[in-house]
Structure 1
Amino acid sequence: MEARIAIAPSAEARTSRGRPGPADVDLDRLRLGIEEAVSRGGGANVPLADADGLVWLVPGEPELLVATLDAHPRIGWVQFPWAGVERFVSSGVFERPVVFSCAKGSFAGQVAEHALMLTLACLRGLSRQARTPGWCPVEPRSLHGRRVTILGGGGIATELVRLLRPFGCRIRVIRRHPEKAEGTDETPETPETPETLPPSALPAVLPETDVLVLALALTPETRHVVGAAQLALLPPHAVVVNVARGAHIDTGALVEALGAGTISAAGLDVTDPEPLPDGHPLWADPRVLITSHSADSAEYVARMLCERVERNVGNLRAGRPLEGVIDPATGY
């Protein structure tokens, strides 16, 4: 079938009203890249009035998307440039008879690298050493053989499992779906098979966790999935790493847990609120490393998004399943 694709905002309405992804992206360059991706996928770049597909680059305005779909009812597919689409769930837009796809999994490579970096930095006390203007020996802890629990079984978890293999970690993946997460099959390099467990297993797993990594979608069910009760179950030497959404962790509970020595360190690429206000106690804590939502680069985001668009346009034309389809029931 033909794939007639529009991009919003239109060329006439170009604006720098916000970033379309997890890093600052030049909107004009991104539009051009997506236009080329549509063409490579065999589609046609058309105005909204002629489109049956839409690449939506307008951040944080679900009402505008609703109005756009109301005005152009022939659009049957919408591609988002983000992995997380929680801002659009409450608008009811996903209840429409439209296929929505997002960028979930597209940026997993760099985000998983970032999670590994934050983990190693926390274990080795890098933040404390970097903040101290003088000689500051810190006893390092190795990642080798550590018990790692990953909340989330998507692309980031898959990539992180692969990166952790050389360290011989004992890995557990906590995910909503019962099937094994990709990458958790036994291989010659890792004789111990990482377990895939349901969310109900989390309380039993936390006391046996050295490193807790959050890499899951934000939904009403996963907001504050790590709060005071969960932090209290972790051993005092545990570190917490969040590369998903800040609201997965109860920030007040995290501050209290660090103050009480309930956990030993935290590596945060995301915070709640975000940006974290000046003067917040997490900024001053030498056991906390914050990287200001910078797990992936603008170039990487744009390149991976264009590759996703190209493949999905080709899939649309060929009648194949699209990548990154959003489940209206779960909101991701």
Structure 2
Amino acid sequence: MEARIAIAPFAEARTSHGRPGSADAELDRLRFGIEEAVSRGGGTNVPLADADGLVWLVPGEPGLLGATLDAHPRIGWVQFPWAGVERFASSGVFDRPVVFSCAKGSFAGQVAEHALMLTLACLRNLSRQARTPGWCPVDPRSLHGRRVTILGGGGIATELVRLLRPFECRIRVIRRHPEKAEGTGGTPKTPKPPETPETLPPSALPAVLPETDILVLALALTPETRHVVGAAELALLPPHAVVVNVARGAHIDTGALVEALGAGTISAAGLDVTDPEPLPDGHPLWADPRVLITSHCADSAEYVARMLCERVERNVGNLRAGRPLEGVIDPTAGY
């Protein structure tokens, strides 16, 4: 079938969002890359009025997307450039008879690398070492053989499991559908090597946390996963545990995290995301030498643009061939 694809923001939308003409060079480069990706996938770049597919590059604005789809009912597919689409899920825009796909899994490589970096940095006291203006002989801890629990079973978890294999960690993956784990194994019938993960449902989390040395959050943000790690969960972790978050800041109750660090309930935290984001000046997490915060920068702009264009190219080809699309959003789950 033919794939006629429009790309938002359109000229009038860009002006209304403070992006007149070609002032936003980065957005223009991304748009050009997507246009080329549509062509490579066998599709045609068309104006909105002629489109049956839409690549939505407008940050947020679920109301604008809903109005656009209502005004152009022939559009049957929308591609988002982000992995997280919680703002759109909560708006009700997914209730429309349209197939929505996002970038989930596309950026897993760099995000998993970042999670590994934060884990190693926390175990080796890198934040404290970097902040101390003098000799600071603090014993490091090794990642080898540690018990790692990953919340989330998507692309980041799968890639992180691969990166952890040389460390021979005991890995458990907590995911919504353990039976659908992709590359992360399942419930073992026979003993498995220590680097092979066991997949478990969310209900297993309280039982797993006391046996966790490193807890990594790499899951979608939904109403059910907001504050999935709060005071109760932090209290179940052993005092030497490290918490790493490369997903969304709201997965962790920030106040509970501050209290847990203050009480010595956990030993360290590596955060690429926070709640609120960014943290305000003077927030206690900024000054805590056991906390390493990066500025939601687990993946680079160049990498994101390249992976997005590859996803668009494949999905346009899939649309034309009648094959399943990559990264399809489950409207019920919200991701």
- TM-score range (shorter-chain normalised) is over 0.9
1:243–1:26 CA distance, 2 compared to 1 (3 A): same
- 2:62 alignment partner in structure 1: 62
The answer to whether the 8 A contact 1:115-1:242 is kept is yes
1:22–1:186 CA distance, 2 compared to 1 (3 A): farther
| CA deviation profile, 1:278-322 (whole Å, cap 9, x unmatched) | 100000000000001000000000000000000000000000000
Contiguous gaps of at least 5 residues in structure 1 = none
Q: CA deviation at 1:189?
A: 19
The answer to whether the 8 A contact 2:38-2:312 is kept is yes
1:233–1:21 CA distance, 2 compared to 1 (3 A): farther
The answer to whether the 8 A contact 1:186-1:192 is kept is no
1:146–1:225 CA distance, 2 compared to 1 (3 A): same
1:157–1:15 CA distance, 2 compared to 1 (3 A): farther
The answer to whether the 8 A contact 1:14-1:28 is kept is no
Contiguous gaps of at least 5 residues in structure 2 = none
1:43–1:189 CA distance, 2 compared to 1 (3 A): farther
| CA deviation profile, 1:158-180 (whole Å, cap 9, x unmatched) | 00000000000000000000315
Q: CA deviation at 1:183?
A: 2.5
Q: CA deviation at 1:11?
A: 4.6
Q: CA deviation at 1:15?
A: 5.7
Q: CA deviation at 1:89?
A: 1.2
Instruction: State the alpha-carbon separation in 1 of the partners of residues 51 and 102 from structure 2.
Output: 18
The answer to whether the 8 A contact 1:149-1:173 is kept is yes
| CA deviation profile, 1:184-218 (whole Å, cap 9, x unmatched) | 34999995531000000000000000000000000
Q: CA deviation at 1:12?
A: 5.7
1:192–1:286 CA distance, 2 compared to 1 (3 A): closer
Instruction: State the alpha-carbon separation in 1 of the partners of residues 258 and 78 from structure 2.
Output: 39
The answer to whether the 8 A contact 1:115-1:243 is kept is yes
Higher mean displacement: 179-188 or 114-123 = 179-188
The answer to whether the 8 A contact 1:20-1:57 is kept is no
| CA deviation profile, 1:110-145 (whole Å, cap 9, x unmatched) | 000000000000000000000111111111000000
- Residue 224 of structure 2, aligned match among 221, 225, 228: 221
The answer to whether the 8 A contact 1:122-1:265 is kept is yes
Higher mean displacement: 17-26 or 126-135 = 17-26
The answer to whether the 8 A contact 1:131-1:286 is kept is yes
| CA deviation profile, 1:77-99 (whole Å, cap 9, x unmatched) | 00000000000112111011100
The answer to whether the 8 A contact 2:11-2:21 is kept is no
Runs of 4+ that moved beyond 2 A: 11-25, 180-193
Instruction: State the alpha-carbon separation in 2 of the partners of residues 296 and 19 from structure 1.
Output: 24
Instruction: State the alpha-carbon separation in 2 of the partners of residues 237 and 323 from structure 1.
Output: 39
Instruction: State the alpha-carbon separation in 1 of the partners of residues 103 and 212 from structure 2.
Output: 30
1:20–1:266 CA distance, 2 compared to 1 (3 A): farther
| CA deviation profile, 1:197-249 (whole Å, cap 9, x unmatched) | 00000000000000000000000000000000000000000000000000000
- 1:249 alignment partner in structure 2: 252
The answer to whether the 8 A contact 2:217-2:247 is kept is yes
The alignment partner of 1:257 has SS state of helix
Higher mean displacement: 91-100 or 246-255 = 91-100
The answer to whether the 8 A contact 2:147-2:212 is kept is yes
The alignment partner of 1:5 has SS state of strand
The answer to whether the 8 A contact 1:16-1:27 is kept is no
1:192–1:59 CA distance, 2 compared to 1 (3 A): closer
Higher mean displacement: 232-241 or 175-184 = 175-184
- Residue 303 of structure 1, aligned match among 297, 306, 309: 306
The alignment partner of 1:324 has SS state of coil
Higher mean displacement: 178-187 or 46-55 = 178-187
The alignment partner of 1:90 has SS state of helix
The alignment partner of 1:32 has SS state of helix
The answer to whether the 8 A contact 2:187-2:198 is kept is no
Q: CA deviation at 1:21?
A: 21
Superposition TM-score, scaled by structure 2 size? 0.94
The answer to whether the 8 A contact 1:228-1:250 is kept is yes
Instruction: State the alpha-carbon separation in 2 of the partners of residues 24 and 256 from structure 1.
Output: 42
Instruction: State the alpha-carbon separation in 2 of the partners of residues 39 and 65 from structure 1.
Output: 24
The answer to whether the 8 A contact 2:187-2:199 is kept is no
The alignment partner of 2:171 has SS state of strand
1:192–1:24 CA distance, 2 compared to 1 (3 A): farther
Instruction: State the alpha-carbon separation in 1 of the partners of residues 22 and 93 from structure 2.
Output: 22
Cα-Cα RMSD? 3.2
The answer to whether the 8 A contact 2:43-2:317 is kept is yes
Instruction: State the alpha-carbon separation in 1 of the partners of residues 101 and 307 from structure 2.
Output: 14
1:275–1:72 CA distance, 2 compared to 1 (3 A): same
The answer to whether the 8 A contact 1:34-1:306 is kept is yes
Higher mean displacement: 172-181 or 35-44 = 172-181
Q: CA deviation at 1:60?
A: 1.3
